[in-house]
Structure 1
Amino acid sequence: MSPGGPSAPTPPTPPTPPGPSATEPRSLRWRPGRPVPVRTILSPLRRGGGDPTWRADADGSVWRATRTPAGPVTLRVRPDPAAGEVRAEAWGPGAEWALDGVPELLGDADRDVADFVPAHPALVAAWKAHPHWRVPRTRAVFEALSASALEQVVTGLEAFAAWRFLLRKHGEPAPGPVPLLLPPTPEGWGRIPSWDWLAAGVELRRRRVTIVAAPRAAGLERTLDLAPDDADRALRSLPGVGVWTSAEVRQRAHGHADAFSFGDYHVAKNVSHALVGEVLDDAGCAEVIEVYRGHRYRVQRLLELAGHRRPRLAPRMTLPTHTPNRAVRR
């Protein structure tokens, strides 16, 4: 089977009916017709080490706590290569919605992959090493936006610490057997007091993105039905959402394979160094990857998975001191 031409998947079996107890999960067995590296596909959804919404087990299972239109859910997804299946279990009111979305979550909507033809040796090698990676699609737009807003213009260390801090103070226990936390609801994000934002190291400009977006959460979810360019424009119509934030949201919530992270401090430099041996800015990198239009995020992620990084010529960026940053210190 060629990397770009998986066999036609079989439809997922319907979820089991609800069990007699709310503590019992609903389950799904899906035969995708291709290998599914669950943890690799879902890795972009993890917000750093210690993400309270995420857990990965030694057997390849990934657990996620999330909110759905039907209510909160904890979803466990586990590959079963011997049986050619992916098995999923879900707890909570959003169980059926989450199970229905498992194929999309694991890249079944990433159908343009058959058109991807890598040419550069580094990219050919990355694709050979990860031929079954697909772009995930969570269908949770506001959730992706609220997390991405915390990551604007700061280091990953600061952003992930802020995410943990705010969820531990303002998240809710997720349903199911493992101790995960749900992100706040849109209304819950709006109720976070200013001193907790400050303690998390999140200044007004970043917090305003989530606060302004929260009353528009329902409208944000409707961008899932738009074409990629239209979804990009709709997201960027929100104050504080630019090309980078829109791309980070669409990579995760919409499953857009072309949503390259322009505006990132590292991405264009790393990708251009991997492909042409030079560290280029966004404009220069855009020229290099234009040949892959339609798959530019795929190029980005494959090179990340392959470990391509430009050489470091200076110490790491220091953390700022203009906010208390208690979240980072914990």
Structure 2
Amino acid sequence: MKSEHRERTQDAAGRPGDDGRVDDGYADAATETFVAHRNLLFTVAYEMLGSAADAEDVLQETWLRWAGVDLASVRDRRAYLVRITTRQALIRLRTLGRRKESYVGTWLPEPLLTTPDVAEDIELADSVSMAMMLVLETLTPTERAVFVLREVFDIEYDEIAEAVDKSPAAVRQIAHRARAHVSARRPRGTVSPSETQDALDAFQRAAATGDLQGLLDILAPDVVFLGDGGGVKQAALQPVMGADRVARLLVAGLGRITASSLRPAQVNAYPALVLRLDGEVDTVVAVRIDDGLITGLYSVRNPAKLSHMHRETVLRR
């Protein structure tokens, strides 16, 4: 009788029967749930990895594991999917760490052409900004996972503990340490997209015309320029620091670029500039703003990181 009850329960849940076939109802329910949360899962993976390509791979792994789960045993499907995604992202982070060690030049997060609604969610926009993604890079993998899940997605400590295989008490300590670390390194104040746009407009005008003084007026004295060519495209191999050095680098590198080829776009929820040459995306320039001045310039040229600049990416919390 117990065996018959188990079989009936499995059939009702849509689990595979003795003939190895999967009930269409189960497959539909699993697919529907995954699709409903896909944008959320991608956002979790991307914030943990800083790479859209790796985030997509993590989602593939998440789906493969999710497709084999008995849905009848899952109390909270969203939390379960986030847990799988987090575990797979932590595994991928270790691989990504090894790749970064052999990366040619500076490694920058992969830029995303984001939908306008992402900027309306201030907390989400801040968390995926290029400046914040670089701050997240300074955390350990577990710290990054805990910070992202707690501060961005408001996941309960007990759920995070299961995802990172730590006790809830340990997770609370990690969260406290990660918050302090991020707080000391994040932009000094909340910057609105309009403030970013104003600074970017001034930068674009000066860069497109080779106006050295115009650049010096908008760059902070301690501005840092980071270029990512991945060894494929020419880029600064080391950070360039200081307004004068950065301005002269920009005049030399962008002075020949026409204003029409350097266009604004919404990148990682904030205004940025996209350089197109012969119709193809050549460079994405994101900025960090503090007190109305540009304190960080992030130039991504590695073609392998520009594939998500051809279509908008939907991010969700």
Q: Does the alignment reach a TM-score above 0.5?
A: no
Q: Larger C-alpha radius of gyration, 1 or 2?
A: 2
Higher helix share: 2
**Higher RCO, Cα 8 Å, sep 6+:** 2
